[in-house]
Amino acid sequence: MSGKSQTKYVFVTGGVLSGVGKGISAASIGNILKSRGFKVNIQKCDPYLNVDAGTLNPGEHGECFVTVDGAETDLDLGHYERFMDIELKQSSSLMSGKVLQQVINDERAGKYLGKTVQIIPHVTTAIAENIAETANGFDVHIVEIGGTVGDYEGLSFIEAIRELAMKVGRQNCVFVHVVYLPYLGASGELKTKPAQNAVRELRGLGIVPDVLIARSEKEPTDDVVQKLSLFSGIEEDAIVLLPNARTIYEVPLTLENRGIGRVITQKLSLKSSKPHLKAWQDLVGRATDEYAPVVKVGVVAKYLNNQDTYMSVFEALKAAAWANNYQVDIEWIDAENVTEANAESMLKHVDGIVVPGGFGKRGLEGKIAAAQYALKSKKPYLGLCLGLQMGVIAAARNAGLTKANTIELDPNTPDPVINMMEDQKYIEKMGGTMRLGNYPCHLTKGSLARRVYGNDEVQERHRHRYECNNNYRDQYEKWGISATGQSPDGNLVEMIEAIDHPFFLASQFHPELASRPNKPHPMFLGFVKTLIK
């Protein structure tokens, strides 16, 4: 890293509590900078000691978002991609485990020439170098630091961005601190003291924030900004209050209306054109239309204790509905409670069924029962990754193979219609057990899949271990399904659809990851259009 840098940096940190909205704030800043014509990149630095997000429990941490080049990342990268309409790479996700692994490998290789290896300077330098390398070639690079300022595990990242700001020049950096204003019901007021303390904590670590974003559940009173400015030392025009919005996609417009885009570009000495946000304003208008008609979708799932678990699926459904001037009412249906006997009573009231991805045995029989019901009742069905596998099993069972299964659920099934390919069994021994990232898919002429996409070949993101067993493919037509999406060599089933059905479409990949709020994914669009019909 040199002392001067053409790239400008926006560092986003959080205080008071976790889950305060740093990811949405960072993505929104990216949105309004990109709308001014700047070339913007963005990165999440996570203090977890994991190497990546692949092993994190989605029930605790939300969905695992997969990039086009196969990185398993935090769900905030999904926000970044949706808000900024970009495709991020592995370099946009950095976890502590990855940094420490690199530093230890360098130490073992003798890179430090016998010096004592320490958090400062070796770990912090590795972090800063990674950030600078990811920023290379962009006008602005946004860096979100995960966790809450004051967390022990996050201190090396805070120190790294402090050091990096010194190296590239403080005039090339803006520090944005996102805090929370709790509401005290007894006194009926928002309290600013936790936010004041969070700013003081950051200052104690050597970073003076330039912009303060204050989240709250209630609408703040007029004196809150003056109070925050007085006790934090941040100018009033660089403080923005963000009470709960009707939709998260309002946040870029709120930041822009409060002048934060102007504040950031001025502090970074960036010459800026006027922001082009008309399309985004139209999107927010559709997203907040309370009088729009509604379609009801049942999502048959098993991770029900965290709203973030199926974030990309829900956002893709909403985007498809908004594009049709509709709203979508999403009902979570516990897969563990669905059986072949009660599927009709549990699912008949919804307009369509979605079976999303997942891992492990729990809830699989319920998802199979949901797919069986969708096939028999002609209820519109969208299967995502695991949803395709459940659809194949459902078709086989409906056709008489009552013990058909996936080897994930029953390794001894007499009809393993879903299994692990031979080459994957070999790969598993080497530690890499999944297909990850973009792979091509060829679509059959005249198929629903081809009509939905309007193309004969597509690239989509994968994250799965198991595949359709090719030994059963010649029976698909007899089961009432067809493999209408395949790998270019024809060896892997990528998409299936029901032969005589208004809409039963499922993919081995995760189309929700490529959906955008103003550019819905074709599979979701086709699904919602069918529900409207």
Establish whether the linkage from the previous residue to 293 is cis, with ω within 30° of 0.
no
Nearest CA-CA partner of 259 in 226, 211, 215, 217: 211
Neighbour count for residue 265 (Cβ, 10 Å): 20
- Say if residue 523 is exposed, middle or buried (CB neighbours under 10 Å; 0-12, 13-18, 19+): buried
What DSSP line would sit under 99-113, residue for residue?
A: HHHHHHHHHHTTTTT
Annotate 389-412 with b (16+ C-beta within 10 A) or e (fewer).
bbbbbbbbbbbebeebbbbbbeee
Q: Which residues pair with 411 in a beta bridge?
A: none
Annotate 494-509 with b (16+ C-beta within 10 A) or e (fewer).
bbbbbeebebbbbbbb
DSSP, res 303:
-
| Distance separating alpha carbons of residues 482 and 505, to the nearest angstrom | 10
Active-site residue 477, yes or no? no
> Angle between the 155-168 and 124-135 helix axes, to the nearest 10 degrees?
60
Tokens of 389: 């596998």
| Distance separating alpha carbons of residues 431 and 67, to the nearest angstrom | 20
Within 8 A by CB and 6+ apart from 449, the residues are 443, 484, 485, 495, 497, 505
Run of H or E including 177: strand 173-181
Contact 44, 77 (CB under 8 A): yes
| Distance separating alpha carbons of residues 255 and 213, to the nearest angstrom | 9
Active-site residue 512, yes or no? yes
Residue tagged active-site, from 173, 385, 441, 468: 385
Active-site residue 441, yes or no? no
Place of tokens 């000691």: 49
Residue tagged active-site, from 79, 177, 501, 510: 510
Tokens of 275: 């922001």
Which residues are the active-site residues? 385, 510, 512
